[in-house]
Amino acid sequence: MNAQPDMLAEGWLEVLDGNPTARDLFTRHYSNPRRKDGGRGQPALIMGPGYKMLLITADAGAVCAWRKAEVRMDGQTGVECSIFRREQGELASDLLLGAMRIARRRWSSERFFTFVDPKEVRPTWRAGRPTWGHCFYQAGWKFCGLTKKRLHVLEFLPDWMAGGALE
């Protein structure tokens, strides 16, 4: 593990794409195509093209990546939460809300969206039904469809901030 905790800080820290701690956390994220080989041969950058914001927690226990691409082939619009992984620290939904507040400062009027693969994420059972990406739902996100590959698309719209979640 390549942890670089910042003992003088707390909460989320913005780092550059290629940060070794963020890359180390990403090697264990289910969306990493090189996860099965232990991250060997992992490229230096983990986020792909576009406008980016990469966050890690001060205790090196979580990573969150936001990316706004100019052109998307999947038809989605807005800012994608392309990586969210929590290994330790606060409740996942609280960490996500903190990351959303930071991203909202940069992209104040943009739709946030993410993809959740129900084949890779263990469901959380609520009211007798499974939910995938439960921390996103707890942070106010809503299901808005499926991709051709049957990934769940979740979104958070700017006008939902009026509920106070990001204030």
Confirm whether 50 is domain-assigned.
yes
> What is the b/e burial string over 31-69, where b = at least 16 CB atoms within 10 angstroms of the residue's CB?
bbeeeeeeeeebeeebbeeeebbbbbbbbbbbbbbbbbb
Mean pLDDT of the chain: 85
Is the pLDDT at 38 greater than 70? The verdict is no
Higher pLDDT, 37 or 51: 51
Confirm whether 97 is domain-assigned.
yes
Q: Is the pTM of this model over 0.85?
A: no
Under 8 Å CB-to-CB from 128, ≥6 apart: which residues? none
Boundaries of domain holding 105: 12-163
Q: What percent of the chain has pLDDT over 90?
A: 57
Distance of alpha carbon 72 from alpha carbon 113, whole angstroms: 13
Is the pLDDT at 9 greater than 70? The verdict is no
Confirm whether 142 is domain-assigned.
yes
Confirm whether 4 is domain-assigned.
no
Beta bridge partners of 57: 12
Q: What percent of the chain has pLDDT over 70?
A: 82
Is the pLDDT at 35 greater than 50? The verdict is no
Confirm whether 138 is domain-assigned.
yes
β strands within 100-160, DSSP E:
112-116, 124-126, 129-131, 142-146, 152-156
Domain count, the chain: 1
Q: Which pLDDT value is given to residue 135?
A: 94
Confirm whether 157 is domain-assigned.
yes
Distance of alpha carbon 27 from alpha carbon 3, whole angstroms: 13
Is the pLDDT at 164 greater than 80? The verdict is no
Is the pLDDT at 32 greater than 70? The verdict is no
Confirm whether 30 is domain-assigned.
yes
Q: Which pLDDT value is given to residue 66?
A: 97
Q: Which pLDDT value is given to residue 110?
A: 95
Distance of alpha carbon 165 from alpha carbon 160, whole angstroms: 8
3-state DSSP assignment of residue 138? helix
The CATH number given to whatever domain includes residue 136 is 3.40.630.30
Confirm whether 6 is domain-assigned.
no
